[in-house]
Amino acid sequence: MSMGVGSAFSTEKISEDKMSISVGPQHPGAGHFRFTVTIDGDTIVDCVPDPGYVHRGAEKQTEYRSFLQSIPMLERSSLTDVTNIIMPFSMAAEELMGIQIPPRAQYLRMIMSENQRILSHLYWLGIQGIFLGHSTVFMWPLGDRELFIDLGQMIGGARITYSYAIPGGVRNDMPDDFKDRALKVFDYFEARLKDYEKIFFNNPLVLKRTQDVGVLPRAEAIKLGVVGQTLRASGVKSDTRIDEPYNFYKDLNFEVPTYESCDTWARCMVHLVEMRQSMDIMRQCLEKLPQGPVRVKLSPQQRAQAGEAYARVEASRGALSFHIISEGSTKPYRVKISVPSFRNLIALPRLLIGSHVADMPAIYWSLDYWPVEADR
Amino acid sequence: MSTTPAQPILPDEEKSILDFFAKLGERTKVVFAKPNRIKINVTRENLVEVTKFVRDELKFDHCTNVTGTDFPKDKQLEITYHFGSIGGTGLRRIILAVACRVPSTDPLLPSIIDLYPSVNYHERETAEMIGCVFQGHPNLSRLLLPEDWTDIPPMLKAYRLPGRLEEG
């Protein structure tokens, strides 16, 4: 077998004082992703990422399907973030089809999208907990996550993949008892977040392992084009929901959290604050939710006009965009997906080089890198 | 390609970007300009020079996406860079697309990695997916495709998905 972009597939001594270590793709934390680090003693001196283990050609497959048929396939790229990955696809398709979706559908999309953000952040928190040796914060978030999975199920009808934000609006309306249930969950979880803060985010051991570790200065974050929590933790107040508001985000009140310390701790804190905020946004949406239809009826083989569209949203891990080129048929001519994990990957070698081996898991997972999403 | 209405009402920022490109004369050609989205075409000879203007004069500081598209009817490949701006005033909502078409038989174009470090993995992916070559890129090795991939680049229209009879 060829040795690929890195060096060895196993640990290898490459000189008197340097050693190359292969991390992944079977590592329980890394996901289906591999990178090679070269270490000199305890210090990482080189890092070569090697993604692609779960590349399934999602972009190619969309060329064989109608816009609607692509939805279930596309959302499987990012199972913790299904609504946010298909929403920009639907938005771009709607632009090409020349349709405007009803206001209620846009509100429901926002509710689902924020619920998804909490789901994704809780999953992230659980893994970050175990990476830092904190097994309580592995179990608590994954337990609390069930409550939000239930909320998603109430609207979407499935636990994980709902195919909810389809071209034309959303698949179905929400049940009448959703609001009461959601508000109860939010009250519980607000109190719970205080516990998380106490036992994890303000834990002296966690602080020691994350503060001043993996520092990405502001100017470099912009230059590397990173997105999401990684960008905001480097002090850049950028969020697609504010920069280019879609749905009804411009009518809502929320702040974009930023931190100036640019380190792993800051990236953790952005996740925490965003969970609180997502609940606040959902509360506002439930308050303002207008009555009306939730979907424009489209043919399953709806034709798009010739042209191109570029739509983006703020997904759980950062800005996610779809570039669709259409030649006027029922299928897209070309679909290009730009996902936050792929864009943040460039920061991994930058952050790991110069760090200690023991800090590797904390830095890696603070980027919230999701290999399946990055490989598409 | 574009189906934009003849004269969309453009905000000031978009207008000033168009004015800037007008000053560059024949080096750029505006494909469409609508609120928040502008696309221009450049030849590969002018790509580096124009992207330098995009970075230094127009303040688009990072690359958000690179799309490589095959147009077998024209025997051309189109490489579209999408740029975003964090530092430019009022520009965060705008995505500026700079497209460059190259002949399929001679798919060479300069890499802009020296101007935009953020295009690194995007260019690597585009190179392996449609088979173009970014000259000057330090490492165009395999990124997402399997190491033992021997077929033609999969995003070319000539590549058919196995088991799919329909036209893609």
The residue behind tokens 């997972």 is A365
Instruction: Report chain A's C-alpha Rg in angstroms.
Output: 21
Domain B12-106 fold: Beta Polymerase; domain 2 (3.30.460)
Task: Flag whether pLDDT at A108 surpasses 90.
Answer: yes
Q: Chain B contacts of A323, Cβ < 8 Å?
A: 65, 67, 80, 82
Q: Band of the pLDDT at A333, cuts 50, 70, 90?
A: very high
B6 vs chain A: nearest CA distance in angstroms?
14
Q: What is the mean pLDDT of residues A316-334?
A: 92
pLDDT at B66 over 70: yes
Arithmetic mean of pLDDT, A197-218: 91
pLDDT for residue B19 is more than 90: no
**What b/e readout covers A18-35, taking b as 16+ CB neighbours within 10 angstroms?**
eebbbbbbeeeebbbbbb
SS3 B46: coil
Mean of all residue pLDDT scores within chain A: 89
Exposure string (b/e) for A139-178, b if CB count within 10 Å is 16 or more? ebbbebbebbbebbeebbeeeebbbbbbbbbbbebbeeeb
- Res A3: pLDDT: 42
pLDDT of residue A286 exceeding 60? yes
Q: Is the pLDDT of residue B67 over 70?
A: yes
Write the CA distances from A374 to A225, A338, B73, integer angstroms.
15, 9, 31
Residue B166 pLDDT grade (very low, low, confident, very high; cuts 50, 70, 90): low
Chosen from B32, B143, B156 to mutate, greatest number of chain A CBs within 10 A: B143
pLDDT (average), residues B15-22: 83
SS3 A131: helix
Question: Token pair 């990178």 is at which residue?
Answer: A35
Residue B7 confidence class, pLDDT cut points 50, 70, 90: low
Partner-chain contact A312 B86, CB within 8 Å: no
The reported pLDDT for the residue numbered A29 is 67
CB B14 within 8 A of CB B8: no
Q: How many CA atoms lie within 13 A of A219 on its CB side?
A: 0
pLDDT at A6 over 60: no
Tokens of A184: 């109860």
Q: Taking CB atoms and an 8 Å cutoff, what residues of chain B touch A331?
A: 168
Write the pLDDT tens digit of every residue in A23-47.
877 766 667 888 888 998 889 999 9
Whether residue A315 is predicted with pLDDT greater than 60 in this model: the reply is yes
pLDDT tens-digit series, residues A65-82:
899 999 999 988 888 889
Q: How far apart, in Å, are the Cα atoms of A189 and each of A81, A102, A279, B144?
A: 20, 31, 9, 39
CATH class of A59-126+134-338: mainly alpha
Please choose, from the candidates B22, B64, B59, the residue with its C-alpha nearest in 3D space to the C-alpha of residue B40.
Answer: B22
The least confident of A272-281, A289-298, A337-346, B17-26 is B17-26
Distance (Å, rounded) from C-alpha B81 to C-alpha B97?
6
Position A10 pLDDT exceeds 70: no
Give the model's pLDDT for residue B147: 83
Q: What is the mean pLDDT of residues A176-193?
A: 93
Confidence of residue B150 (pLDDT cuts 50, 70, 90): confident
Which of B40, B89, B121, B152 is most worth mutating to test chain A (most A CB atoms within 10 A of its CB)?
B121
Average pLDDT over residues B49-70: 91
Specify the pLDDT at position A4. 44
Q: What three-state secondary structure class fits B133?
A: strand
Predicted pLDDT at B88:
76
Q: Where are the domains of chain B?
A: 12-106
A43-67 per-position pLDDT tens digit: 999 999 988 888 988 999 999 889 9
Each residue of A88-97: b (16+ CB within 10 Å) or e?
A: bbbbbbbbbb
Nearest to A225 among B118, B125, B141 (CB): B118
pLDDT value at position A91? 93
Q: Choose among A4, A222, A307: nearest Cβ to B62.
A: A222
What would the two tokens of residue A260 be? 């100036």
The pLDDT of residue A13 is above 90: no
Omega into A25 within 30° of 0, i.e. cis? yes
Residue A220 CA neighbour count, 13 Å, CB half: 15
ipTM of predicted complex: 0.89
A319: pLDDT confidence band, cut at 50, 70 and 90? Answer: very high
Q: Map tokens 């974009």 to a residue.
A: A256
Which of 71-130 (B) contact A at CB < 8 A?
80, 82, 84, 86-87, 92-93, 95, 97, 116-118, 120-121, 125
Every domain of chain A and the residues it spans: 59-126+134-338
C-alpha count within 13 angstroms, C-beta hemisphere, residue A147? 18
Q: What is the pTM of this model?
A: 0.90
Q: Report the distance separating Cα B98 and Cα A74, nearest Å.
A: 26
Span B92-129, pLDDT tens digits: 899 999 999 999 999 999 999 999 998 999 999 999 99
Confidence at residue B12, expressed as pLDDT on a 0 to 100 scale: 83
Q: How far is CA A159 from the centre of its chain?
A: 18
User: Of all residues in chain B, what percent are helix, strand and coil, respectively (each to 5)?
Assistant: 25, 30, 50
Q: What confidence tens digit (pLDDT) does each residue in A226-269 have?
A: 999 999 999 999 999 999 999 899 899 898 899 999 999 999 99
CB contact under 8 A, A60 and B65: no
Euclidean distance between CA atoms A363 and A137, whole angstroms: 17
Run of H or E including A246:
none
Q: Give the model's pLDDT for residue A77.
A: 86
